Amino acid sequence: MTDFTDVTYEVDNGLAWITINRPDRYNSFRARTVDELVKAFKKAWASDEVGAIALTGAGEKAFCTGGDQKQRMESGDYGPSDSGLFEVDALHRVIRDVPKPVIAAVNGFAIGGGHVLHVLCDLTIAADNAVFGQNGPRVGSFDAGFGSGYLARVIGEKRTREIWFLCRRYSAQQAEEWGLVNKVVPADQLRAEVRTWADEILQLSPTALKVLKQSLNTDTEHFASIGQMAYSSLKMFGETDEAREGITAFNEKRKPDFAKYRGN
């Protein structure tokens, strides 16, 4: 799709590669990036040539590091979008709803909203230098829908609470032990491994895979409505002094001081 600036889209023998192409910002997403990702997934959905989809990030440093906090600091939001809305919930939905298996090829940092994206993918293959973790509570943000509730279904309550309440960083090997990723491979073998998995998928009945994916999604659909309530809360929270302290500290490269908000 030639009008893309933040994303690249290519199809190779049945496998659509969707790549977040903002390596200078560690593949963080602004509103335009999210719009382009949604369009790319829908293009793969509609294409008879595509039987599997891979999501990855450009360069060697990052898969995706979530919302662009520099953009958020500069403009107070994530920049202009086609609809005037920040459509990250639409991105979450299309990853789940596209009736073809989606493989996250994690080639570096998968942090914050980027961590949520890989969790939502059907499968995750990680390079051995990948790093996983959450960042929301550090910068005055959170994901109270799929990013937390669904994550608990994937790795369990205790692990999920640790990820969100401590905001630590985890290695690819640790993520594999927890069941957060399906396989870890050397970084230079990541694309080849995704190709191998995709080739196996492409030998299977697309209708069977479609119904199986829909069936697997059914039990966690309620997290979509929880996420909608969370977005409402996040919008209001983002305008508070507490949230501003988080984003200001991030951009000033210092620790935030949240102490005075603990009694709220």
Q: Encode 167-188 in three state secondary structure.
A: CCEEEHHHHHHHCCCCEEECHH
What was the pLDDT predicted at 129?
Answer: 97
Per-residue pLDDT tens over the stretch 166-218: 999 999 999 999 999 999 999 999 999 999 999 999 999 999 999 999 999 99
What was the pLDDT predicted at 2?
Answer: 64
3-state secondary structure of 104: strand
Q: Assign residue 130 a region: left if phi > 0, alpha if psi is -120 to 50, beta otherwise?
A: beta
Local structure of residue 9 (DSSP, 8 states): E
Q: How far apart are CA 65 and CA 127, in angstroms?
A: 16
Q: What is the mean pLDDT of the chain?
A: 93
What was the pLDDT predicted at 91?
Answer: 96
The first and second tokens of residue 65, run together, are: 């590091």
What was the pLDDT predicted at 69?
Answer: 78
Instruction: List the chain residues with pLDDT less than 70.
Output: 1-2, 264
Q: How far is CA 200 from CA 51, 137, 193, 206, in A?
A: 11, 39, 11, 12
Taking residue 264's Cβ as centre, other Cβ atoms within 10 Å add up to: 7
Model pTM score: 0.92
Q: Which helix (H) or strand (E) holds 224?
A: helix 222-237
Q: How far apart are CA 202 and CA 262, in angstroms?
A: 52
The first and second tokens of residue 97, run together, are: 């709803």
